[in-house]
Amino acid sequence: LSLTTPTLPFIKTIGTLASSPESSLKTNNFFDTLPLVTEYRRSTLKKQLVQACENKDENLVISLVEQLSVLNPTEVPTLGLAGYKSKSDEKSPLNGPWKLLFTNAKDAEAPARTESNPDAKFGDEVASTTEVITGQVIDASLGQCKNYIRLSSASSTESSSSSTSPPSPPFDDLEITIQMTPLTDKRVRLDFLRARVRNERASLPFFKDVTFNFPPRFVFDTLARLRGQDPTIEPQSYFDVLYIDSDIRAHRTGEGKLFVQKRDL
């Protein structure tokens, strides 16, 4: 079925009737059209969301994610994460590679930002001479993910013709390994395990590839309890999945920061 323009008024009419308590249409054919209406709305909102992310329109992104969350087709987003509520042959919706489309968390690209305006919105003040690739790979069976930021000097006619050399990125790769523990059908606890930083331009050899571990989780649990919080419900770091399907995911962290990601096929 192709959703051409003449079809739209019909779909809108069906959607209105479906939400009306006075509707007397009770046939099977009528109910068969409801999933079509929902899928059309979901598809339209997703396209608008991707465009809003490209435009870095934070208010619109937040609004679209809220609308999509009502249409989330995945009943248990954390299914299969570290074996949560799953059988051995069930695939986790979170599993696989993801790339970042938008976030209002300023530290997501902090290493690549210019120091002239550190309060700029996502992506606005990334140095023009630096190419930034951010992403995430989730291994649901292990209950772990790796977040990465890759920086490289962008080659451009402007930079090559300049009399002064462009500043080098502070590093080549930053990779952070995080333990993911499902707390509910939608909430995931995050425990930072280790970080690895690589920089081929480092002046000393042992600074070219550095790995360090984060404090163990009981340290953060103790701090949470001292603040009167229950880390089994509201740990130091977590996110709630607002929307996830086969190619788009949106989640909000415990700090209220929004992330929109696209599956990196």
Looking at residue 23, its pLDDT comes to: 40
Looking at residue 43, its pLDDT comes to: 96
Looking at residue 86, its pLDDT comes to: 87
Contact present, 52 and 45 (Cβ < 8 Å): no
| Residue 126 DSSP class | B
Looking at residue 40, its pLDDT comes to: 93
- Nearest partner of 262 among 161, 143, 134, judged by Cα: 134
Residue ranges in the chain modelled with pLDDT below 70: 1-33, 88-89, 107-128, 154-166
Rounded Cα distance, 242 and 259, in Å: 10
What does the longest C-alpha to C-alpha distance in the chain come to?
77
pTM: 0.76
Residue 63's Cβ-side half-sphere holds a number of Cα atoms within 13 Å equal to 7
Residue 216 to residues 136, 147, 237: CA-CA distances in angstroms?
A: 22, 19, 13
Rounded Cα distance, 262 and 168, in Å: 29
Q: pLDDT of 202-229, one tens digit each?
A: 888 888 999 999 999 999 999 889 988 8
| Sheet strands (E) in the chain | 96-103, 130-139, 144-153, 173-182, 187-198, 209-213, 238-244, 248-253, 258-263
Rounded Cα distance, 172 and 130, in Å: 11
Q: What are the φ and ψ backbone dihedral angles of 131, each rounded to 5 degrees?
A: -95, 130
Looking at residue 59, its pLDDT comes to: 97
Computed on alpha carbons and rounded to an integer, the radius of gyration of the chain in Å comes to 22
